[in-house]
Amino acid sequence: MKHSYDSGNRKPAWLGKKMTAEHKLKMSKNRVGSGNPRARKVIHLASKKIYGCGKYAAIENRIPYGTLKNVLADPYNNYGFVWLSVYEEFFLDKKAV
């Protein structure tokens, strides 16, 4: 079976290349927090502290990130974390009414 990059003896430019540890670290830093344009801010309701992304909130509060994501899925959870957009939409509107 030939691959799309098979054309005789030529190989694609990326084949056989490896990323350095420095480059991998740089890529991971760009995809977390403020470097990621799709990252959503998280607010801790008890302290009203706003985190740039869920990963930062999990690290600072010593919670596994997977657990925090499950908690954030329910806006009326008992753990005190919600997405900032959900907080602004639901919690602030209800207090004003």
Q: How far is it, in rounded angstroms, from Cα 44 to Cα 30?
A: 24
| Residue 92 within a domain | yes
Structure confidence at residue 97 (pLDDT): 42
Is the pLDDT confidence value at 32 over 90? no
Which of the two residues, 4 and 86, has the higher pLDDT score? 86
Q: Put residue 33 in one of left, alpha, beta given phi > 0 → left and psi -120 to 50 → alpha.
A: left
Percent of the chain as helix, strand, coil, to the nearest 5: 40, 10, 45
| Residue 2 within a domain | no
Instruction: Read off the pLDDT of each residue in 45-51 and give the average, rounded to a whole number.
Output: 88
| Residue 8 within a domain | no
pTM: 0.58
Provide the residue range defining the domain that includes 49: 39-96
| Residue 25 within a domain | no
Q: Put residue 58 in one of left, alpha, beta given phi > 0 → left and psi -120 to 50 → alpha.
A: alpha
| pLDDT digit string, tens, across residues 10-19 | 666 667 778 8
- What backbone phi and psi angles, to 5 degrees, belong to 73? -70, -25
Number of domains in the chain: 1
Average pLDDT, the chain: 77
